[in-house]
Copies of this chain bind each other. A is one copy, B any other.
Amino acid sequence: MKDNNHDTFMGASTKQGLDIANKSREIIRNLIGEEIKDLKPAEKDIVERIVHSTADPEYAKLVYMSPDFVEVAIKSMKNNETILTDINMVKSGITRYDGNVECYIKNEDVKRIAKENQITRAAAAIRYAAENDFEGIIVSGNAPTAVWEAMDLYNNGEINLKAIVGVPVGFVGAADSKEALRKSNIPNIITKGPKGGTPIAVACVNSLIQTLKEV
């Protein structure tokens, strides 16, 4: 059990908020403790926080991390490398990071790249980042096309990415993109199947930030 001498705990910052977060964690440990018992502490924190953010214990069965994911991601974040999100909702949920959190989906160049290449803006935003000295972690809570583009660029040596939080949501294409990412040699976290989304992406990153600040 963590102590509560943090500024925040699972996003809570007032006494009432902390009480709720503590009780929630107790319930979550009862629900999924057995399933995640073999994970490392920082990995457990991620899964618990995802279940906390969704109230959906099924995520304990759906989350997979490559063995190197936490270590690589924490190292990148310790160096304040960029966290690049696919949509602004994910960006705005990531709090207390000392480096830059970026999202280029509304960038005019990105719109142009998307139009010219008939690709999604989410994919175009990754391409734009690669062309503009991106170095860091890519976080996709929405668009499988962002995950595919990141993997393509990585395989071609065209992007300096360290890890992918690949948890896009949807019945079309999301599961395939995550399965491909899981089988890649990129440090990654994914959710199996169609489920995923913003809260899962945000919970993962904010849990890593919390781990980083405790080390």
Task: Give chain A's interface residues, CB within 8 Å of chain B.
Answer: 13-17, 20, 23-24, 27-28, 52-56, 88-89, 91-93, 114-115, 118-121, 145, 169-174, 193-199, 202
Contacts and interface: CB of A to CB of B under 8 A. Distances in A.
Given A88-B92, A89-B202, 4 more contacts: A15-B118, A16-B119, A20-B170, A28-B171
A16 B123 CA distance: 11
Task: Report which residue of A23, A169, A172 has the largest number of chain B beta carbons within 10 angstroms of its beta carbon.
Answer: A172
A26 to B, nearest CB: 9
B14 A171 contact: no
Nearest to A13: B121
| Shortest 10 CB-CB contacts between residues of A and residues of B | A55-B194, A92-B92, A89-B93, A27-B171, A20-B172, A23-B172, A88-B92, A55-B195, A55-B169, A24-B172
